[in-house]
Amino acid sequence: MNKSKNNKICNKCVLPENGQNIFLDNQGVCSICHQHNEKKDSSSKYLETDLLKLLKKHKSKSDYDCMVMCSGGKDSTLALYYMVKKFNLRVLAYTFDHGFENKQALKNIENATDKLSVDWLYFRTNFMKDAFREIIKNRSKTTICHICALWYTQLCYNTAANYKIPILIAGWRKEQSSSGEKSFDEYEYLSIETKNFIKYKLRKIEKYKSFPLNFKDAKKGALKKQKIIALSPHWFLNDLPEDKLDLLKKELNWQQIDQSYPHGSTNCQLNFPSVFLSMKNFGFSHYHIETSKKIRNGEISRKEALRSLEIDFDKDYVNSILEQMDCKI
């Protein structure tokens, strides 16, 4: 199930030809790889000195210098560790839980915040369950993770603004950069479905009538109250989180959760139905996009990427998760 619907996958990355905005040439190389060769990813040029300048420039006069978005995975946990131990900032750890957060991941956050002696704000809500249910029951091609990302972006920016925190820290990797670089086309096919779902379905529901349509929309309310920059230490540092697993385990009692996708990652339970439906609807998921960027950046080989994207869960497992919303695929 890691193959595209028509099985025509780029010979350099793992993106499939979709007949919409990703095409293969005569050598089997996709149009996205050609774009990458023409416009190199600017995030790879960032240096640790650039991060230090940003942290110093935006240092807060309030109780916290930064708010770290903590999911319990290695990327966000290492970002939290760096902010406290490497950069000596006053940190508020923040976790949002829409009802599908992994218990092992929450334990990782509890262990890390205890070991690092930082404040942890944990917010659990059922607000998004109706939106997720609407996607499933209407057989929408909307990617669940995209809808969730818009919601939690708004939530995190508003929380930072309420606490007067000027820096929002995430565990984003270079391939997940949202730093303003000129974007490529690989998300276009997925994002069209998301925009249409929000405009013509989700906003018809009273409690979602002002749901953000894009990331700029999600941030604007908070930015009127507080100047906020969002960044990740992984954009600026050469060490990969995989290289720091022993440190996380030793100093923060961090543990890899039992089952996740892609392999070796940490994501909420809704990630499984999101991936299952993306593969069904498009032949690839947003993880194929991110993993393809990792290949182009030289972080992993194509063989390693294909192995990490192998799906080891089925419809029954997906439906066991969706039972919490009284729906199924």
**Predicted pLDDT at 22:** 87
Q: Give me the torsion for CA of 132, 133, 135, 139, rounded to 10°.
A: 150
CATH code for the domain of 168: 3.40.50.620
Count of domains forming the chain: 1
Indicate whether this model's pTM tops 0.95. Answer: no
Task: Give a yes or no: residue 152 inside a domain.
Answer: yes
Is the omega angle on the peptide bond into residue 233 within 30 degrees of 0, that is, cis? Answer: no
The percent of the chain in helix, strand and coil, each rounded to the nearest 5, is 50, 10, 40
**Predicted pLDDT at 282:** 87
The H-or-E segment that residue 111 falls in is: helix 103-116
Task: Give a yes or no: residue 112 inside a domain.
Answer: yes
**Predicted pLDDT at 177:** 63
Task: Give a yes or no: residue 281 inside a domain.
Answer: no
**Predicted pLDDT at 181:** 39
Q: What is the radius of gyration, based on Cα positions, of the chain?
A: 19
Task: Give a yes or no: residue 28 inside a domain.
Answer: no
**Predicted pLDDT at 46:** 82
Nearest-angstrom CA–CA distance, 132 and 1: 23
Task: Give a yes or no: residue 290 inside a domain.
Answer: no
Profile the chain (329 residues) by mean pLDDT over runs of 10 residues: 61 88 91 78 72 93 95 97 97 97 96 98 97 94 94 98 97 70 60 91 97 95 96 92 94 93 90 94 90 89 94 94 94
Strands 91-97 and 66-69: parallel
Structural domain of 224: 46-179+186-235
- Tell me phi and psi for residue 16, to 5 degrees: -95, 155
Residue 39 Ramachandran class (φ > 0 left, ψ -120 to 50 alpha, else beta): beta
Task: Give a yes or no: residue 51 inside a domain.
Answer: yes
Task: Give a yes or no: residue 11 inside a domain.
Answer: no
